[in-house]
Chain A
Amino acid sequence: MKKKYSLKNSSKGMMLVLSTCLTLTSFAQDKGPEMADTMRSNGKIYVVVAVCLTLLIGLFLYMIRVERMVRKLEKEK
């Protein structure tokens, strides 16, 4: 059974995990604020980093493409 990880799904899933963790603060009085330690310990935090890096690299590839187009047009003139 394949799970589809689109950006929307994974950020929704992350929010679900985070809000679940937030509700748990009422049970654990002395653990302090709930952080994403679970995400860090099971390595899923790297999924978050990878998704964001993909977005960033995609944006920069587009920027480089536009830059090259502008440079070409400038040379022609």
Chain B
Amino acid sequence: MRKNWWKILSFVLLVYTIVGGFLMEVPRLYILNETIRNLYFHVCMWFSMMILFIASFVYSIKYLNTTKYIHDIYAKNFAAIGTLFGALGYATGAIWANYTWVTDQSQSLGSILKEPKLIGAAIAILIYGAYFVLRGSFTDMDKRARVSAVYNIFAFAMLFPSIWIIPRMVGSLHPGAPGSDSGNPALNFKDVDSNLRMVFYPAIIGWTLLGVWIASLKIRIALMRDKEIL
């Protein structure tokens, strides 16, 4: 129980996310209507992805400092689940965009494809996809760990201009861009309605813990498999 409390916490928080997410009050907005509740799912996917990529980044740096293979295992598996969450965030965003930007705001498919944040997010996910391709190209374990750790640092650094900085600087359909009257929509306390925040922040923790649990299972399997080498 001492080691598993966070798994149960993840379950509790996600149940709260679903029950509270659908039943609690949300601000009544045009165009978004009830889909604002997607904040607890789509946006949480991206937040969890960021946290998992931070973990992967930290373990990559740890590997470069110590060259202990176990850190490479941790880095790779956190990056894998981070990429999964990023892909899920992208897919949920595509569904959400279809019913809000396309249906209600009458945006054309062209203007959606030119959306800076979508392009930036695609670039970021593809860069991490290339991380796994890079790993697969090596036969030597130590070289693989070293080169992919260096690449991981670059991939993590690329997240910030692609997803956060450039989309906020150019005109964008996403909140937080010039032309909208908000700052960072998720962290700006004036922008996110307090009702939303009550479910949003626990949801981030819940989804992140779920991602950590999945990654930890993969790590434990990898540790068992490579026990002799460790």
Contacts and interface: CB of A to CB of B under 8 A. Distances in A.
Given A18-B33, A56-B14, A56-B15, A63 B227 contact: no
Interface of A: 15, 18-19, 21-22, 25, 32-36, 45, 48-49, 52-53, 56, 60, 63, 66-67, 70, 73-74, 77
Q: How would you classify the secondary structure of chain B's contact residues: helix, strand, loop or mixed?
A: helix
26 contacts: A18-B33, A18-B99, A22-B103, A33-B28, A33-B30, A33-B32, A34-B33, A36-B34, A45-B22, A45-B23, A48-B22, A52-B18, A52-B22, A53-B15, A53-B18, A56-B15, A60-B11, A63-B213, A63-B214, A66-B217, A67-B7, A67-B213, A67-B217, A70-B217, A70-B220, A73-B224
Nearest to A54: B18
Q: Which of B18, B99, B103 has the most CB of A within 10 A?
A: B18
Interface of B: 7, 11, 14-15, 18-19, 22-23, 26, 28-34, 99, 103-104, 213-214, 217, 220-221, 224, 227
Q: Which of B14, B29, B104 has the most CB of A within 10 A?
A: B14
Contacts of B227: 77
Contacts of B15: 53, 56
Given A22-B104, A67-B217, 18 more contacts: A18-B34, A19-B99, A21-B33, A22-B33, A22-B103, A33-B33, A35-B33, A49-B18, A49-B23, A56-B14, A63-B7, A63-B214, A70-B220, A70-B224, A73-B221, A73-B224, A74-B220, A77-B224
Nearest to A34: B33
A49 B220 contact: no
A22 B106 CA distance: 13
Contacts, number: 60
B101 to A, nearest CB: 13
Contacts of A45: 22-23
A47 to B, nearest CB: 10
A32 B27 CA distance: 11
B214 A35 contact: no
Contact of B19 (A32, A53, A66, A67): A53
A67 B7 CA distance: 11
A53 B227 CA distance: 38
A73 B148 CA distance: 29
Contacts of B224: 70, 73-74, 77
Contacts of B28: 32-33, 35
B29 A49 contact: no
A49 B104 contact: no
Contacts of A52: 18, 22
Contact of A49 (B22, B103, B221): B22
Contacts of A35: 26, 28, 33-34
Contacts of A70: 217, 220-221, 224
Chain A to chain B: the 4 pairs with minimum beta-carbon distance, closest first = A52-B18, A33-B30, A33-B28, A36-B34
